Structure 1
C-alpha cells in the first residue's frame, strides 16, 4: 500500500487518528541512558534516537488526536490526554497535519502523563488565540485531582502572576454512560478497566453532585479486605478510562486487566467471541514492555487481549525503552503468521516470541509518534506505514 502524505490534511475517510505520543510516563529517550558512563550496558533503544534510523523510538507520553466528521459534515478535532510532553507533540504534529482548533479533550486518568499538559492549552484560548475555550471531558475523580493539583484551572481566583490561564468548560463523564461531543453527533462511550490489584469504588466515576467542583466525601480505597502487606509501600489505586469512539475505535491505555463485564460491553463475552462481527475495526491497546506491570499489560497479555477482541487492526502503544520499535515489529509480525525474517533475531525478539502463546494469527503492530490511521465509511482501516 502506498504511503499517505502528511500534506493530505483532510482525507475522505470520516475518521482520522494521529498518535501524538506512544511512550510511557518517562518518555523516550531516557536521560540516564543517554548520559550513561562508558562501562555501563548501553540502552540501544534510547541511543538509537540520536540517529535518523531511530526516530520511531522517540516516544512522548501516550496521546492521540482524532479528526472525525460531525453531523454537520465538518471535521471535529478530539484529543485524548494532554500529558507532560503534549506541547512539543502538538508543535510537531498539528502543523504537519493541518490541525488547529480542538473541539474536545478526553482525559483517561489523573496521572502526570495524561493531564500535566492542561496548562499548555492556554495557547489555544489565551485572548481567544484560536478559540474562546476548550471542552474537557473527565471523570469526577480526575476532576477532583485537577482541582487539587491545579486549582487555577478550575477556579480563576486561584491564578497568580498575570492570571493568564486557559479557558475550560468542564464535562463530568461516567463509566459506561455514552455521551456526545457537544452538538456534533459524535458518540463516545467511556469505560473503566482498572488494574487487576484494585477494585474501584462506584463513586469514583460518578459525579459527586450536579456541581462538578464539589469533591466527593469518599476517598479512593484499596479493595475491601485487601490491605498492603506489612512493611510494603501502599500504592494508591486509580482508574483509567478507555473509550469506544463512534463504534469504530476502541482506545485503551494504562491497563493491566479487563474485567468480564467490560468484555461484555465490547460484545466479546466467551459465548460469542471471536465470531461476533460487530467489533470496531481499530483497537488501540496498552503494552509497556515484554513483562507485565502493576498497571500495564506485558506483550503476552496484550496479544491475548488482542486475539480475544478480534479487531481488524490492533495497534499497541504506551511503550517503555526495553524493546525497540523494530523489535516490536518483528515480534508482532510473527503473531500475524510470519515465520521467517531477513535478519538474525535479537535476544529481545527471541524472548518476546517465547512469551507469546500459540493462537490464531492476527494483525497487530506497534504504534509510533506521528503514525496516522484512517477508517473509511465502510469501516475499513488503513494507515500510512503498514500494509
Structure 2
C-alpha cells in the first residue's frame, strides 16, 4: 500500500486525502512571523518563501477526507472528518486540486475549535439555495459535542425558524448522535465506522474512528492516552492488525498533557503494530524532510513503516 500525490482523478478508486496535518494553531505559527526569535524559526520562515502547495511544513488543522468508491465501481461518496478553522483554505487548495465536488457526510472527533469552527463554511460545498431548500448534510457526533455546538452555532443547530425570523442562507446539517463506544458502529455514506474513544487529557474523551472492510484504517487525531479497550480493538495482538494507523504527534520533544508527542507516539505505534503508520497533528517543531529521514531509520529498525503525513497527500487504498 503506497502513497502518492495525483492530479485529481487519474485513479478512479477510493482514497484518503489529508486536508490538514497540523496542530490547532496550524503551521506556520503566526507568532514566529510577527515576533520572530533570534535565530528565526526555520520551519515558519520557509513558509514565506515556499508556496504552501510545495511546502510539506505548511500545515492546516487536522482533517481527513475519505473518497469512497462504492461497490458499483462508479459512485463516489465524500466523507469529511472534522471541519476546523482552516476549512475554507483546505477547500480552495485541495478540493480544487483533487476535483472534489461536494461533501456527502461529516464526522466529528470532538467539539474543540480546530475540529468545528469551519462548520459555517460547509455551505460552500453544498448546493446553492437562497432559501435553504436543499437536502441537509448528515453530521455524526456525540451528544456532548452536539450540546456544545448548539451553544456556539445555535443558527446551525436550530431546525425550525421561529415566527418572524428571517431566512438566512446557512449550512444545512442533519445532526445524528453516535456513542463513544467501539461496540456501537454506525453507517456513514455507506461505510461503517467504529468509534474509538481515547483520552484527550485526563478530563476529556475524544473519538478516533476505525473503518474499511478491505483495508483496515484507524484515524486518531487527538489523544494523550489510549483506553485499554480501544487499544485492544486496533492492536495486532487484539482483534486484527491494522493496515494503516493515522496518529497524533504534537511536539518533537518533551510531552504534552492533551496530546501524544514523538516518543509517546512511537511507543504507541510499536504497541499497536500496524502494517504502516502516518503521523499528523504536528507543530512547527517538526521539519518534514529531516524528521522523515529519522523515521525512515526508525522504521528499518522496528519493522513498521512510519512517516509524517503532509497536507494534500492522497493515498489510494481499497476500502
TM-score w.r.t. the length of structure 1 is: 0.73
Alignment check: 8 A CA contact 2:3 2:314 kept: no
Q: Residue 72 and residue 81 in structure 1: after superposition, are their counterparts in 2 closer, same or farther (change >3 A)?
A: same
* Aligned counterpart, 2:188: 181
- Aligned partners of 2:165, 2:314: CA distance in 1, in Å? 39
Q: Residue 40 and residue 192 in structure 1: after superposition, are their counterparts in 2 closer, same or farther (change >3 A)?
A: same
Structure scoring higher RCO (CA < 8 A, sep ≥ 6) equals 2
Q: Residue 371 and residue 5 in structure 1: after superposition, are their counterparts in 2 closer, same or farther (change >3 A)?
A: closer
SS at match of 1:285: strand
- Aligned partners of 1:49, 1:325: CA distance in 2, in Å? 13
- Aligned partners of 2:235, 2:279: CA distance in 1, in Å? 21
- Aligned partners of 2:250, 2:166: CA distance in 1, in Å? 39
Q: Residue 168 and residue 305 in structure 1: after superposition, are their counterparts in 2 closer, same or farther (change >3 A)?
A: same
- Aligned partners of 1:8, 1:82: CA distance in 2, in Å? 21
- Aligned partners of 2:173, 2:316: CA distance in 1, in Å? 29
User: Where in structure 2 are the equivalents of 1:200-211 lying within 5 Å?
Assistant: none
* Aligned counterpart, 1:375: 317
Report how many aligned residue pairs link the two structures: 307
Alignment check: 8 A CA contact 1:36 1:42 kept: no
Choose which of 265, 272, 289 in structure 2 pairs with 1:302.
Answer: 265
Alignment check: 8 A CA contact 1:287 1:317 kept: yes
1:12, distance to aligned residue in structure 2 (A): 4.4
Unpaired stretches in structure 2, ≥5 consecutive residues: none
Q: Note the alpha carbon deviations across 1:119-160, whole angstroms, 9 max, x for none.
A: 001122441899632110111111111001111111154898
1:101, distance to aligned residue in structure 2 (A): 2.1
Alignment check: 8 A CA contact 2:5 2:312 kept: no
Alignment check: 8 A CA contact 1:126 1:166 kept: no
Q: Note the alpha carbon deviations across 1:243-266, whole angstroms, 9 max, x for none.
A: 001242100011011121112222
Q: Residue 315 and residue 8 in structure 1: after superposition, are their counterparts in 2 closer, same or farther (change >3 A)?
A: same
* Aligned counterpart, 1:118: 119
- Aligned partners of 1:154, 1:266: CA distance in 2, in Å? 33
Q: Note the alpha carbon deviations across 1:2-45, whole angstroms, 9 max, x for none.
A: 985632516243x30011011000011122211235x7331111
- Aligned partners of 1:264, 1:5: CA distance in 2, in Å? 32
Q: Residue 18 and residue 3 in structure 1: after superposition, are their counterparts in 2 closer, same or farther (change >3 A)?
A: closer
- Aligned partners of 2:287, 2:134: CA distance in 1, in Å? 39
Choose which of 144, 147, 165 in structure 2 pairs with 1:144.
Answer: 147
Alignment check: 8 A CA contact 1:188 1:245 kept: yes
In the alignment, structure 1 residue 44 sits paired with structure 2 residue 51: no
Choose which of 258, 283, 301 in structure 1 pairs with 2:245.
Answer: 283
Q: Residue 189 and residue 130 in structure 1: after superposition, are their counterparts in 2 closer, same or farther (change >3 A)?
A: farther
Bigger mean CA deviation after superposition, 158-167 or 308-317: 158-167
- Select the structure that is richer in strand: 2
Q: Note the alpha carbon deviations across 1:171-216, whole angstroms, 9 max, x for none.
A: 101122101125x2x1111121013x52xxxxxxxxxxxxxxxxxx
Choose which of 174, 179, 197 in structure 2 pairs with 1:169.
Answer: 174
Q: Aligned Cα RMSD in Å?
A: 2.6
* Aligned counterpart, 1:22: 21
* Aligned counterpart, 1:214: none
User: Where in structure 2 are the equivalents of 1:1-387 lying within 5 Å?
Assistant: 4=4, 6-9=6-9, 11-13=11-13, 15-37=14-36, 40-52=38-50, 55-73=55-73, 74-123=75-124, 124-127=126-129, 132-155=135-158, 157=161, 163-175=168-180, 176=182, 177-182=184-189, 184=190, 186-195=191-200, 197-198=201-202, 237-247=203-213, 248-268=216-236, 272=237, 278-290=240-252, 291-337=254-300, 360-376=302-318
Q: Highest Rg: 1 or 2?
A: 1
